[in-house]
């Protein structure tokens, strides 16, 4: 048995690369009843995203995410996922999964518009609707902090119960308004540097 309720307010200007506005979301997730050794978990989730333009070319992005386990019992391994799953990750730790009962993170980016141009593809693009190709390119300076609380700490994973920090540079390509490709070089608190590719469409 699983139940999920979420309330969201979305006031962003464009997706999936907003420059102005905010999104806030709060959710309650119930998994199992705890009968006959079954899962019995209840989580409160929160997410807040804020986008602030500084001038014509500079803008900032702030993302605050958190989860609180309302039932403080040890959960099965599969239900103990915290950071490193879906959008809940710290840049620089993309190759890690960090388990825990609770987590919180703050992701921030300072973004600068490098290019804003529309290319006319003409007959090179057989689909007439796509012959005008708007392209935007942004350079981003990223800094992320996070923490996963695992009161049932298991040996073999040293990342729970400590501050996680990742930072780096990214270049973001927005094509046809809703296709986004991110190339990022990030470094984490472990001293590891990595090159990462992310992509997104409408959401």
For 187-199, the pLDDT digits (tens) are 999 999 999 998 8
pLDDT at 203: 46
Write the pLDDT tens digit of every residue in 74-117: 887 777 889 999 999 999 999 999 999 999 999 999 999 999 99
The mean of the pLDDT values for the chain is 91
Lowest mean pLDDT among 25-29, 40-44, 156-160: 156-160
The set of residues, in sequence order, having a beta carbon less than 8 Å from that of 158 and lying 6+ positions away, is: none
Mind giving me the DSSP string for 4-35? EEEEEEE--SSSSS-SSEEEEEEEEEEE---G
Choose between 153 and 108: higher pLDDT.
108
Q: For residue 98, give Cα distances in angstroms to 47, 118, 139, 144, 187.
A: 19, 42, 28, 15, 17
Write the pLDDT tens digit of every residue in 156-176: 778 999 999 999 999 999 998
Domain boundaries, the chain: 2-200
| Residue at token pair 């992310």 | 198
Choose between 156 and 134: higher pLDDT.
134
pLDDT at 120: 87
| Residue at token pair 């307010």 | 9
Q: Is the pLDDT at 32 greater than 70, yes or no? A: yes
Rounded to an integer, the average pLDDT of 2-14 is: 93
Q: Where are the alpha helices (DSSP H) in 73-141?
A: none
| Distance from C-alpha of 182 to C-alpha of 166, rounded to nearest angstrom | 16
Record: fold of 2-200: Porin (2.40.160)
Closest CA to 162 of 180, 178, 145, 183: 145
What's the whole-model pTM score? 0.90
């Amino acid at each position: 048995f699983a139940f999920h309720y979420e309330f969201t307010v979305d006031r962003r200007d464009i997706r999936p690369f907003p420059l102005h506005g905010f999104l806030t979301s709060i959710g309650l997730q119930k998994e199992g009843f705890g009968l006959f050794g079954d899962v019995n978990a209840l989580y409160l989730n929160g997410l807040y995203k804020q986008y602030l333009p500084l001038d014509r070319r500079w803008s900032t992005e702030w993302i605050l995410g958190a989860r609180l386990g309302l039932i403080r019992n040890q959960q099965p391994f599969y239900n103990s996922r915290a950071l490193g799953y879906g959008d809940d990750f710290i840049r620089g730790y993309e190759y890690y999964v960090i388990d825990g009962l609770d987590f919180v993170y703050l992701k921030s980016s300072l973004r600068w518009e490098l290019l804003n141009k529309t290319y006319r593809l003409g007959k090179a693009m057989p689909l007439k609707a796509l012959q005008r190709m708007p392209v935007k390119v942004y350079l981003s300076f990223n800094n992320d902090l996070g923490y996963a609380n695992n009161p049932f700490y298991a040996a073999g994973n040293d990342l729970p119960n400590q501050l996680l920090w990742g930072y780096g540079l990214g270049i973001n390509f927005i094509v046809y308004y809703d296709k986004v490709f991110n190339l990022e070089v990030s470094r984490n608190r472990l001293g590891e540097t990595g090159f990462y590719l992310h992509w997104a469409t409408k959401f």
